[in-house]
Amino acid sequence: MNHFKYKNGELSCEDVPVSRIAAEVGTPFYLYSSATLNRHFQAFDGAFDDIAHITCFAVKSCSNVAILNGFGKMGGGADIVSGGELFRALHSKIDPKKIIYSGVGKSELEIEEALRAEILMFNVESPQELDRIQNVAERLGVRAPVAFRINPDVDPQTHAYISTGLAKNKFGVPVKEALVEYLRAQDMANIDIIGVSCHIGSQLTKISPFIEALHKVKLFIQQLEQKGIVIKYLDLGGGLGINYNDEEPPLPHEYARAVIDELTSLDITLILEPGRVIVGNAGILVTEIQYTKVNTGGETDKHFVIVDAAMNDLSRPSLYDAFHSIKPVLEKSGTPLLVDIVGPICETGDFMARDRLLEEVKQGELLAIMSSGAYGFSMSSNYNSRPRVAEVLVEGSGFRVIRERENYEDLIRHENI
Residues classed as catalytic = 346
Q: Does 275 bind ligand LLP (CB under 6 A)?
A: yes
8 A C-beta contact, residue 99 and residue 56: yes
- Of residues 147, 175, 167, 163, the one with CA closest to residue 239: 163
Instruction: Please list every residue from 333 through 352 that binds ligand LLP, using CB under 6 A.
Output: none
274 belongs to the binding site for ligand LLP (CB under 6 A): yes
Determine, following the binding rule CB under 6 A, whether residue 258 of this chain makes contact with ligand LLP. no
Nearer Cβ to ligand LLP (279/402): 279
Smallest distance, ligand LLP to C-beta of residue 54, A: 13
Which is it for strands 336-342 and 351-359: parallel, antiparallel or unpaired? antiparallel
| CB nearer ligand LLP, residue 306 or residue 379 | 379
Does 98 contact ligand LLP by CB under 6 A? no
Interface with ligand LLP, residue 58, by CB under 6 A: yes
What would the x/- binding string for ligand LLP be over residues 2 to 41, using CB under 6 A?
----------------------------------------
Rounded alpha-carbon distances, angstroms, from residue 350 to 161, 301, 346:
19, 19, 7
Among 85, 181, 273, 308, binds ligand LLP (CB under 6 A): 273
- Helix (H/G/I), strand (E/B), else coil: 373: coil
Q: CB within 8 A of 191, min separation 6: which ones? A: 130, 133, 134, 137, 143, 144, 146, 185
**Cα–Cα distance measured from residue 123 to residue 150, given in angstroms and rounded to the nearest whole number:** 9
Asked if residue 308 binds ligand LLP (CB under 6 A), the reply is: no
Q: Angle at Cα 37 formed by Cα 59 and Cα 149, nearest 5°?
A: 30
Specify burial of residue 178 (Cβ count, 10 A radius: 0-12, 13-18, 19+).
buried
Check residue 145 for interaction with ligand LLP (CB under 6 A).
no
Q: Is residue 281 within 8 Å of residue 243, measured between CB atoms?
A: yes
Q: Angle CA(48)–CA(51)–CA(55) in degrees, nearest 5?
A: 50
The reply on whether position 61 binds ligand LLP by CB under 6 A is yes
Choice from 199, 324, 386, 388 touching ligand LLP (CB under 6 A): 199
57 scored as a contact of ligand LLP (CB under 6 A): no
Q: Of 280 and 328, which CB lies nearer to ligand LLP in the complex structure?
A: 280
Distance of CA 87 to the CA centre of its chain: 17
Binding of ligand LLP by 152 (CB under 6 A): no
Smallest distance from ligand LLP to CB 80, Å: 9
Residues forming the site for ligand LLP (CB under 6 A): 58, 61, 79, 102, 162, 199, 202-203, 237-240, 273-277, 316, 320, 374-375, 379
